[in-house]
Structure 1
Amino acid sequence: MDDTLLKQARQLNLRNGGPNCPIPPIILLTDDQRLPDPALAINSLPTDSMVIFRQYDHPHRAKIGAKLRSLCRAKAIPFLVANDISLALTLDADGIHLPEYRILTTPHFYHQIPSTLLVTSACHSLVTIRRLGIVPKQYRPDGVLISPIFPTHSHPGSNHLSFNTVLTMAELCKHNEMTPIGLGGINKENVGNLRSSSLASLAGIGFSGAITSPVR
């Protein structure tokens, strides 16, 4: 991972998350198309990282998840499963990641998540942040992935959030005691623009250069 990105992520985490922040500075999202060898990426992660296992449609999702869970456990890195409580419990995962539609269409789902699991949620608008904010405190996600912050390779030409919107969304997260996480198009050239934000962590698929991600 680029040293500039790692340094900025750690500074944001310390300043905006504090020493007891439940979300580490770096979050790796797995992806069938853009990260064909997630094991290699996990092995290269610093110890203050977290992995969100997304392979939504892979026919051997459980088998791959078990392998990656073991790698994360060996490195003492939290491992979250995307949108599947059953698989998360089967793999003894540390948590679950939820797509944005969950809070918009099935908000009661948050009430069904075991309190022992770390929870993150995708968020692409102020509407979603406000929906998350009215969930009872004990059921709110620990972290919110705000995206896309910058233009991304995964969605070329599509709109990204304005910087003012990112700042507002991050502040709302902190106000509602949810860790704000930046995602989408972040690289060593533009990460410095996030210093004035309330973001506490950075997330993405690739860490050899830019940090980018699809928005789900």
Structure 2
Amino acid sequence: MSNMNSETVRPLLKVYFIMGSVNCTEDPIEVLSEAIAGGMTLFQFREKGAGALIGEAKLTLARELQQLCQEHHIPFIVNDDIDLAIALDADGVHVGQDDEPASSIRERIGYHKIIGVSAHTLEEAQQAIQDGAHYLGVGPIFPTRSKDDAGEVLGTTLIRELRQQGISIPLVGIGGISIDNAASIIAAGADGVSVISAIAGAKSIKEATAHFVRNTTQL
């Protein structure tokens, strides 16, 4: 991808699908194909949790998912694993508060890659922006079963607070997001929603993704 900045990243956050093999009941390649067909805008490979692939198996799956994204011009982002992102020449990384800061990641992966940072407070958001994040993942908005380490549920309060404090960086809501509550997150000031189980676990992945696309489109 060409050089990315916050404004080129903003529209990509609309329906941000996060997935690893542990989130899928079907073949992950098929799940991602269906989500792409439904109109998802950005993909994050997150291979974590009980039964997650490691080593060569993780790398192989990542390569296959990345190739699928490339064929459809969807940016491919790696969760936390900076070495994997470098090995794959991924389009970017997403890190949490316990990972290395965006400033040092930037030196490792290059200045043309996307960096997203999870933020749970105004202070964390300000620090991430100072460190050079392109976007912030704000949450958990609602209770979630997809992450064992999810923090206290924030609702849409923090998104509103960040916007009221003049923070204009792209924001994506994360945690417990469903088709029913996606529009409320956009209304609070987010640019998009990041979704794991509401897409990966849907009966029709393509249909669920398309619903999210509709529910995050501001009229």
Instruction: Give the aligned partner of residue 6 of structure 1.
Output: none
Q: Which letter maps to 1:196?
A: A
Change (3 A) 1:108 1:195: closer
Instruction: Give the aligned partner of residue 12 of structure 2.
Output: 23
Q: Take 1:66 and 1:55, find their aligned partners in 2: how far apart are those partners?
A: 13
Q: Which has the higher helix share?
A: 2
Match of 2:112 among 94, 109, 116: 116
Match of 2:93 among 81, 84, 96: 96
Question: What's the offset of the Cα at 1:20?
Answer: 7.2
Q: Which letter maps to 1:84?
A: D
Q: Which letter maps to 2:85?
A: A
Change (3 A) 1:198 1:70: same
2:24 corresponds to 1:35: yes
Change (3 A) 1:93 1:47: farther
Question: What's the offset of the Cα at 1:171?
Answer: 5.1
Instruction: Give the aligned partner of residue 7 of structure 1.
Output: none
Question: What's the offset of the Cα at 1:163?
Answer: 3.0
Q: Which letter maps to 2:64?
A: K
Change (3 A) 1:144 1:33: same
Change (3 A) 1:83 1:93: same
Unaligned runs of 5+ in 1: 1-16, 212-216
Structure 1 residues 152-191: aligned runs within 5 Å:
152-154=144-146, 159-170=152-163, 175=167, 177-191=168-182
Question: What's the offset of the Cα at 1:63?
Answer: 0.8
Contact (CA 8 Å) 2:140, 2:151: kept in 1 or not? no
Question: What's the offset of the Cα at 1:101?
Answer: 1.5
Q: Normalising to structure 2: TM-score of the pair? A: 0.72
* Structure 2 SS opposite 1:120: strand
Change (3 A) 1:84 1:170: farther
Q: Normalising to structure 1: TM-score of the pair? A: 0.72
* Structure 2 SS opposite 1:161: coil
Instruction: Give the aligned partner of residue 53 of structure 2.
Output: 58
Q: Which letter maps to 1:109?
A: S
Contact (CA 8 Å) 1:53, 1:79: kept in 2 or not? yes
Q: Percent identity?
A: 20
Question: What's the offset of the Cα at 1:95?
Answer: 1.1
Q: Take 2:151 and 2:112, find their aligned partners in 1: how far apart are those partners?
A: 37
Change (3 A) 1:107 1:118: closer
Q: Which letter maps to 2:10?
A: C
Higher mean alpha-carbon deviation, 91-100 vs 201-210, is at: 201-210
2:119 corresponds to 1:128: no
Matched pairs, number: 187
2:84 corresponds to 1:73: no
Question: What's the offset of the Cα at 1:152?
Answer: 1.9
Question: What's the offset of the Cα at 1:51?
Answer: 0.8
Question: What's the offset of the Cα at 1:53?
Answer: 0.7
Question: What's the offset of the Cα at 1:75?
Answer: 1.3
Q: Which letter maps to 2:116?
A: T
Contact (CA 8 Å) 2:116, 2:136: kept in 1 or not? yes
Contact (CA 8 Å) 1:24, 1:48: kept in 2 or not? no
Question: What's the offset of the Cα at 1:158?
Answer: 7.0
